[in-house]
Structure 1
């Protein structure tokens, strides 16, 4: 009996050591924008996902060049199956496309491209907060965003906030060279923006903002699907509190989920934590982020990659 206990203790100790060793090799990176997004991409890092430090003295890593407005809002970066970092962003408040660029090191970027994903929709008013999620099963990337199309979904139309009434749309690609036709991804029966999708086991989880103005929701909710392209379930109850929240981005640390979001009317960031995606604890007072940080996304990078970024 004693030998078995010792054996189990060694296994647990080894697992703990390996987890710590792994964590020491990787750090968290927050890609975000400041102001109106005119100066481009900002990056911050963290070893514990709570305390974040701006890189390059919080100067821009990439200046936006595409669309007439030349903005770089809501940057979303993922590490692709090809080893490259792929980024999409909002280029304008009123354009019919998004920005795209790739990089090997997050410092030197490819020529920025304008992807006219809503060009075929005459009534499309905007293309906001694009994100990318990779489906390893189909080896396909899905890029998705929020758009208001004049005359559609009148059942949830409002005259408030310039009459915007969004739904989520998407395209797919395997190589960021050719793209599918644009399709509707999610109509939850309300005005929805700022979706971010992560895989959890065999399920895909969509964190989204209920943008309803009358009566005001302005909170984060969750929907689920068995496939990346859906169909997604009915959105659940709000997981954020009595404040307006937007731009969710998430991490899973061990068994705990962390969701970060912009408390934009309070001009600060918030975070909530959960072990089972049901009951959430507010940990906003435990996080520290660079001043002025706005809507972005978090990814994991290697220590060596951070060392290169720290030299900038």
Structure 2
């Protein structure tokens, strides 16, 4: 079972087992131990050193990540001579990768392909080690200047979607597109998530949207490009309309922050991973995490993710039962 920036992890607890003996009194109940199934957390990311290479990490606790394979995949046409964060590069990049495991057992990554343009990149792997380029998908909407930070989302209904921030010149608006075939080769035309339009009077909007489904509602964590804080909006449907419930530095994560990824934890909590990138901030270049045990209303102080903070950028995490 998969768990990612948009699905739930259901952790099963063993039920008490009573031994009943016919014809005499029941023996003392024997209770099976309550166990938490092992979970493997897989992170895909790019790095401060390269915006064209996919790095893959694994963890047993969502905190200590070990490198599974560095530079596991590079999209066709990528130029290795380009500086790692050069915003003038118009070649094929691998930024903001998002990981998903399909019913066919294979892993799929979708990623940003360029600073400017209207395409998203897709790649596939059977083992997380060797990857194959599938295709670049051109968003069929006129005048798209930027297509950034795509994120997989599996709805409880079975719908498989990609959330992507699109800018047609009036600011970034999160959109959703739905897989139209089981092979994930064709997609519905992206539509805006209602209620997450650019702020009036600005041309900034919202990017890096990740959605989780919890208690029958959809919680969208979005980066406000005007304030640079990660804010929270809620809706009854994936497509919206969304209403903002938390804005500004409501969770104490500070700012600027971006590249957020939210996953459920086996103990009933939630964890968010965040990029910190402010040059005036002592946590510049850090990759942070913070936990909530109160249905998103309170969060722990953000801490650098050990071992990888300062190296990785905009990772997303997929959790699976072993």
Question: What TM-score does the superposition give when structure 2 sets the normalisation length?
Answer: 0.76
1:220, 1:240 within 8 Å by CA — same for their partners in 2? no
Select the residue among 203, 228, 239 that pairs with 2:217.
203
Give the SS at the match of 1:281. coil
Structure 2 vs 1, CA of residues 177 and 66 (structure 1 numbering), >3 Å: closer, same or farther? farther
Structure 2 vs 1, CA of residues 109 and 210 (structure 1 numbering), >3 Å: closer, same or farther? same
Structure 2 vs 1, CA of residues 100 and 171 (structure 1 numbering), >3 Å: closer, same or farther? same
CA distance in 2 between partners of 1:283 and 1:294 (Å):
16
| Structure 1 residue ranges without an equivalent (≥5) | 153-164, 304-312
Q: Which residue of the partner structure matches residue 162 of structure 1?
A: none
Structure 2 vs 1, CA of residues 82 and 231 (structure 1 numbering), >3 Å: closer, same or farther? farther
How far did residue 96 of structure 1 move? 0.7
CA distance in 2 between partners of 1:73 and 1:37 (Å):
9
Q: Which residue of the partner structure matches residue 232 of structure 1?
A: 242
1:65, 1:112 within 8 Å by CA — same for their partners in 2? no
Is 1:178 aligned to 2:186, yes or no? yes
Is 1:107 aligned to 2:134, yes or no? no
1:151-190 aligned within 5 A: 152=170, 165-174=171-180, 175=182, 176-188=184-196, 189-190=198-199
How far did residue 244 of structure 1 move? 1.1
1:16-35 aligned within 5 A: 18-19=35-36, 22-23=37-38, 26-35=39-48
1:44, 1:290 within 8 Å by CA — same for their partners in 2? no
The answer to which of 190-199 and 180-189 deviates more is 180-189
CA distance in 2 between partners of 1:38 and 1:196 (Å):
21
CA distance in 1 between partners of 2:240 and 2:298 (Å):
25
Select the residue among 219, 222, 229 that pairs with 2:232.
222
CA distance in 1 between partners of 2:153 and 2:67 (Å):
25
- Cα deviations by residue, 1:75-117 (Å, 9 ceiling, x for unpaired): 0001123322121000000011110122222223333311101
Is 1:289 aligned to 2:308, yes or no? yes
1:50, 1:288 within 8 Å by CA — same for their partners in 2? no
How far did residue 209 of structure 1 move? 0.8
Structure 2 vs 1, CA of residues 84 and 204 (structure 1 numbering), >3 Å: closer, same or farther? farther
Question: What TM-score does the superposition give when structure 1 sets the normalisation length?
Answer: 0.78
1:136-151 aligned within 5 A: 136-137=156-157, 139-150=158-169
Is 1:131 aligned to 2:151, yes or no? yes
CA distance in 2 between partners of 1:286 and 1:99 (Å):
27
Select the residue among 40, 64, 67 that pairs with 2:75.
64
How far did residue 143 of structure 1 move? 1.0
Structure 2 vs 1, CA of residues 283 and 181 (structure 1 numbering), >3 Å: closer, same or farther? closer
The answer to which of 274-283 and 221-230 deviates more is 221-230
Select the residue among 84, 93, 102 that pairs with 2:106.
84
CA distance in 1 between partners of 2:106 and 2:66 (Å):
24
CA distance in 2 between partners of 1:79 and 1:229 (Å):
22
CA distance in 2 between partners of 1:83 and 1:199 (Å):
23
CA RMSD of aligned residues (A): 2.4
| Structure 2 residue ranges without an equivalent (≥5) | 1-17, 19-27, 79-89, 200-204, 279-283
CA distance in 2 between partners of 1:61 and 1:201 (Å):
37
1:37, 1:73 within 8 Å by CA — same for their partners in 2? no
Higher strand share: 2
How far did residue 302 of structure 1 move? 5.5
1:271, 1:287 within 8 Å by CA — same for their partners in 2? no
Q: How many residues are aligned here?
A: 269
Select the residue among 295, 299, 302 that pairs with 1:280.
299
